[in-house]
Structures are given as C-alpha cells and as structure tokens.
Amino acid sequence: MIESFAGKTAVLTGAGSGFGLECARIAAQRGMNLVLVDVQQDALERAREELQATGAQVLARSVDVSDAAQMEQLAQAVQQRFGAPHFVFNNAGVGSGGLVWENSVRDWQWVLGVNLWGVIHGVRLFTPMMLDAARADPQWRGHIVNTASMAGLLTPPNMGVYNVSKHAVVSLSETLYQDLRLVTDQIGASVLCPYFVPTGISHSERNRPQAMEGEPFTASQRIGQAMTSKAVESGKVSAADVAAKVFDAVLENRFYIFSHPQALGNVQSRMEHIVRGENPPDPFAERPQVGEQLRAALRGG
C-alpha cells in the first residue's frame, strides 16, 4: 500500500472533470506530481491552471485514451518527466444508452474504446513501468485504480453498451489484482464502482468523435439519456466524496470502492439468482414506478 503520497506521481485520465479532477485536487493537496489527461482541451487547461496554482508539478496532455499510439506517447512523456507513476487512475469514461440492438457500430466502438480500451492501455503501459520501479527498489509502492460502475455489477436495461464496457472493466481489474499478487507485493489494484453521482458523464455526447457528428439518437437512446441525467443530477453523493473514498482505498489497499454501498443488495440479488440458476431478477423491484415509466415510454404508451 502507498503510505505517503508526497513527492510521488499520479496519472489521472478524465482529469478535466468529475472523479478525475477531484482525485487530482486531493493528490495536489498531498504533494503529488500530476499527469492530467483529458480529451476535452478547455477542461484540461482549466484543471492545469488550477492545480499548478497550488504549487504542484503538472504535466497536462490532451489524449484520446482509446488510441494506442497516443497512450504510448503519453507513457513515454510520463517516464521522461517523472519516471514510473505511483498512482494510476484509469478513469476516463463516457455514457451511452439505448436498446442493445439499436446501438450502431460507431456507438460500440466509441464506448468500448474509451471505457474499456482506455483502461486496457493504461494497464498495459503503466504496469510494466511500475513493476520495473518496484524491482529496483524494495521500498517502492504503487497502486492502480480503474473506474468501472455499479453497471459493471448489474445489468440495468436500456444501457447495454455501457453495461458491457463496465462489466469488462470489473473483470479486467479483478484479474489485474490477481495477476499482480502472483508477481509482487508492492503494487495494489482497485476498481471504483460508482452509482449515480453528479459528474460530466451524463453529458458525454459533448465528446462524441467527429465521425459521429450528425448521427441521430434513437428514441430509446433519448429516453435513456433523459432518465439517466435525472438520476445522476439528483445524486446526493458528490464526486469529491467519491475521490476521498478512492484515496482511502489506496491507503488501505482495498480492492472494491463503492460510492453507494446500500446498492449492493441489488448485486447480491443478481448473484443469488445466478447461483440458483434462475432468470435475472426484476431490476425495478425496489422502484416499480421507474420500470413502468420506462416500459411505457419505449412502447409509446
């Protein structure tokens, strides 16, 4: 576990807003060097200015995390400026909904590209650097946190592309944890599974690739966007609250990080149905009115 953050280096993707920015603020308060990564240039620049003003050493890079070459260039820049990072927060993410058969190939490529391939690139590029540093110094400690979602542990309807991406991140992160345990005691791993927290993800369309400009939203996507935005924006747990939980988990070397532990009853119900070989449970059992509203909207009622 990382016991002290001062003088260490943090790499944070999606650092222009939400969890990434809030974790960067905590990292700066604790004396870390910062590598800020975001695809949205104006948000990235605001974050860089704010955090440099605190006295932190900052390397800010506009990077599409789904792009292997851009991520490889980022890793090289981090190595040259700060050496191996101690804390890697593979956090960049986008949201997209709709009935699973209505999503276009570009929808799948965009969401999986950012949410899954972004994490894959972060893991494949930074883990070897961290392992090299650990081998060179028995006192060296590092930690990797990947942002998934409660949608990585559940299967809410009308959110298929997002669910698939986040389930994959949970699986990748659990495997990373087990793989690291085989080869080192110096590097930990965690997965962040937030529920409805007000961040910029409910407005992900602002960062849709240029190739998707003008591509119309389906009716189910518009319905899903409206319902998700309402749920996210009414969330009582803030991104800053979640960032504090992330740092607590790193200090405690704790794998699962939940913003809303009370939602784990739904996860337990899903797992029990799997073990018993039963059909998936009603996702709206606790909020039947939401299910009725979604069903009526999708059926045009």
Positions marked active-site: 162
Ramachandran sector of residue 83 (left: φ over 0; alpha: ψ -120 to 50; beta: rest): left
C-alpha dihedral sign at 8, 10, 16, 20: negative
Q: Which amino acid is at 63?
A: V
Residue 96 in contact with residue 47, Cβ under 8 Å?
A: no
| DSSP 8-state symbol, 114 | I
Q: At what angle do helices 160-183 and 118-136 cross, to 10 degrees?
A: 10
Cα distances (angstroms) measured from residue 148 to each of 77, 130, 154, 230, 288: 26, 22, 11, 20, 26
- CA-to-CA distance for 194 and 266, rounded, in angstroms? 14
Residue 94 in contact with residue 115, Cβ under 8 Å?
A: yes
258: phi then psi, degrees, rounded to nearest 5: -120, 135
Chain-centroid distance, C-alpha 56: 24
